[in-house]
C-alpha cells in the first residue's frame, strides 16, 4: 500500500501577465509524492481567496499525510469528518479537490492507465471547446465583433461572454438595450457560432428576466448564472418567466447540493468545477445525476492546465457532455508552458494524450521560476470575476 509521503504547494503567477482573467492571475498547484516515489499533481482555484485556499490545503494535507493514496473515497470521507463546514466552504472543497485530483494522477501512473479508464473509459475521442476570456477591453458591439473574429480564427465554434457592462443586481433599460445590441451584432456576424451569455450570478430575478428578454431572440446556447446564487426562489421565478436554457454550477460544491436544482427543474446545463466540487468522483456523480434528469454538462474550467487535464479525463467518459469551457488560447505565456504535454486544443477541440494518470508532463522550471506570494491584485473599480476591462459604463467609449 502506497501512502501520501510528501506534500508541496506552489502558488504561481506573474504580475500583470493575466490580461483577461483577473480571478486566475494566481494558481495553486499541488504536488504529492507517494511512498514509492510516484508523483501526482492537482490544482485548486483562487478567485480572491488564494491565501485562504492555500491554508486550507495545508490543513487537508495534515489530515491526509501518511494515508493510503489509493483509498481516495475513504480519504474524502476522512476530510468530510474533520472539516465541519466542508459542504459549504469553497476553501476546503477546493483544497480537497486538489488532493483528490493528485491522488488519481498517482493511481493512474501506478497502474499504467489514463485516469479516464478508471471512470469507465472514453465515450468520445475529442471534446468540443468554447472560448472564454477572449473579450477583454470590449465595451461596444464593434469591440465584441472584432475580438470574436480572432476566436473564430482559433477554431472555436462557440464563445461565452458577459455583455452587461457595469450593471450589478439591477439591470436598467439602457444596459439591457446595450446588451441586446452586443448579442444581436455577434449573431448577425457569426450566424453559425454558438453564443453563451454569462451573467456571473449578478442579478436579482426581475433584472435577470429583463436580461433574458434582451438576448433571447439571438438564440443563445445557454444563459449562465442569471440570478444571484443564493436566491433559489428567484431562479424558479426566472424559469417560469423565460424560455432561455439555464446553466449554472461553479458555486455548487458537491453532488448532494445539485439535487435541489435537478428535482425542481431549475437548470438545464450543469457546470460543476472539478477543482472545487470535490474532484473527479464528485464530478462523475454529478454527471450521472444530470443524465437521469435529461440535463447536460458543461464543466466550469477557468483556471490552469492541471484543472483542464482533470476535467477532460472526466468529460471524455460521460455521454451527456454538451461543450467544454476553454481559456487556453488567451492565457499568459507562463501558464501555457506549465504543462508541456498531456492534452491538445486544435481547431476548437480538445484531445487527451492517453498517457497514464492525468496524462500530463509538468515543466518544473515554471514551478521554480513563477512562484509568488500573497493575494491576487485588487481593483476597486472592477470586480475580480469579470473579464478585464469590461466592467465599465458605456460612456467610457
Considering the domain boundaries, does residue 384 fall inside one?
no
Specify whether 19 is located in the same domain as 139: no
List the catalytic residue out of 178, 180, 228, 300: 300
Q: Which residue's entry shows cell 450566424?
A: 191
Specify whether 99 is located in the same domain as 164: no
Specify whether 99 is located in the same domain as 203: no
Specify whether 266 is located in the same domain as 326: yes
Specify whether 21 is located in the same domain as 70: yes
CATH number, domain containing residue 137: 3.20.20.120
Q: Total domain count for the chain?
A: 2
List the catalytic residue out of 175, 180, 200, 228: 200
Considering the domain boundaries, does residue 179 fall inside one?
yes
Specify whether 131 is located in the same domain as 52: no
Reply yes or no on whether 189 is catalytic.
Answer: no
Domain C-terminal end among 114, 141, 156: 114
Quote the domain boundaries for residue 60. 4-114
Specify whether 21 is located in the same domain as 140: no
CATH number, domain containing residue 70: 3.30.390.10
Q: Per-residue pLDDT tens, the chain, 397 aa: give them.
A: 899 999 999 999 998 788 788 888 999 999 999 999 999 999 999 988 999 999 999 999 999 999 999 999 999 999 999 999 998 999 999 999 999 999 999 999 999 999 999 999 999 999 999 999 999 999 999 999 999 999 999 999 999 999 999 999 999 999 999 999 999 999 999 999 999 999 999 999 999 999 999 999 999 999 999 999 999 999 999 999 999 999 999 999 999 999 999 999 999 999 999 999 999 999 999 999 999 999 999 999 999 999 999 999 999 999 999 999 999 999 999 999 999 999 999 999 999 999 999 999 999 999 999 999 999 888 899 999 999 999 998 775 5
pTM: 0.96
Reply yes or no on whether 178 is catalytic.
Answer: no
Considering the domain boundaries, does residue 369 fall inside one?
no
User: What phi, psi does 218 have (nearest 5°)?
Assistant: -95, 5
Amino acid at each position: 500500500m502506497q501512502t501520501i509521503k510528501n506534500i508541496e504547494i506552489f502558488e504561481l503567477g506573474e504580475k500583470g501577465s493575466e490580461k483577461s482573467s483577473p480571478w486566475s492571475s494566481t494558481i495553486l498547484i499541488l504536488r504529492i509524492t507517494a511512498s514509492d516515489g510516484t508523483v501526482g499533481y492537482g490544482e485548486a482555484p483562487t478567485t480572491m481567496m488564494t491565501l485562504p485556499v492555500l491554508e486550507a490545503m495545508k490543513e487537508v494535507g495534515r489530515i491526509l499525510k501518511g494515508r493510503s493514496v489509493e483509498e481516495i473515497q475513504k480519504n474524502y470521507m476522512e476530510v468530510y469528518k474533520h472539516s465541519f463546514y466542508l459542504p459549504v466552504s469553497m476553501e476546503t472543497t477546493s483544497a480537497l479537490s486538489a488532493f483528490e485530483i493528485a491522488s488519481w494522477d498517482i493511481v493512474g501512473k501506478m497502474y499504467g492507465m489514463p485516469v479516464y479508464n478508471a471512470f469507465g473509459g472514453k465515450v468520445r475521442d475529442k471534446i468540443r471547446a468554447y472560448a472564454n476570456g477572449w473579450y477583454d477591453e470590449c465595451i461596444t458591439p464593434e469591440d465584441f465583433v472584432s475580438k470574436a473574429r480572432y476566436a473564430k480564427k482559433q477554431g472555436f465554434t462557440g464563445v461565452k461572454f458577459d455583455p452587461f457592462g457595469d450593471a450589478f443586481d439591477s439591470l436598467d433599460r439602457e444596459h439591457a438595450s446595450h446588451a441586446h445590441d452586443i448579442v444581436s451584432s455577434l449573431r448577425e456576424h457569426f450566424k453559425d457560432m454558438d453564443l453563451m451569455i454569462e451573467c456571473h450570478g449578478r442579478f436579482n430575478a426581475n433584472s435577470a428576466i429583463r436580461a433574458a428578454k434582451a438576448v433571447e431572440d439571438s438564440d443563445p446556447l445557454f444563459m449562465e448564472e442569471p440570478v444571484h446564487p443564493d436566491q433559489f426562489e428567484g431562479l424558479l421565478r426566472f424559469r417560469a418567466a423565460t424560455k432561455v436554457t439555464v446553466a449554472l454550477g461553479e458555486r455548487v460544491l458537491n453532488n448532494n447540493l445539485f439535487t435541489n436544482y435537478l428535482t425542481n427543474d431549475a437548470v438545464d446545463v450543469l457546470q460543476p468545477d472539478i477543482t472545487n466540487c470535490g474532484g473527479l468522483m464528485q464530478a462523475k456523480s454529478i454527471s450521472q445525476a444530470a443524465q437521469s434528469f435529461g440535463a447536460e454538462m458543461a464543466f466550469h474550467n477557468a483556471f490552469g492546465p492541471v484543472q483542464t487535464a482533470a476535467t477532460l479525463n472526466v468529460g471524455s467518459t460521460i455521454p451527456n457532455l454538451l461543450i467544454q469551457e476553454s481559456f487556453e488560447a488567451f492565457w499568459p505565456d507562463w501558464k501555457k508552458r506549465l504543462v508541456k504535454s498531456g492534452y491538445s486544443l486544435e481547431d476548437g477541440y480538445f484531445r487527451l494524450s492517453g498517457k497514464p494518470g492525468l496524462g500530463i508532463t509538468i515543466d518544473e522550471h515554471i514551478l521554480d521560476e513563477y512562484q509568488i506570494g500573497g493575494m491576487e491584485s485588487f481593483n476597486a473599480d472592477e470586480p475580480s470575476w469579470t473579464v478585464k476591462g469590461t466592467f465599465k459604463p458605456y460612456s467610457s467609449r
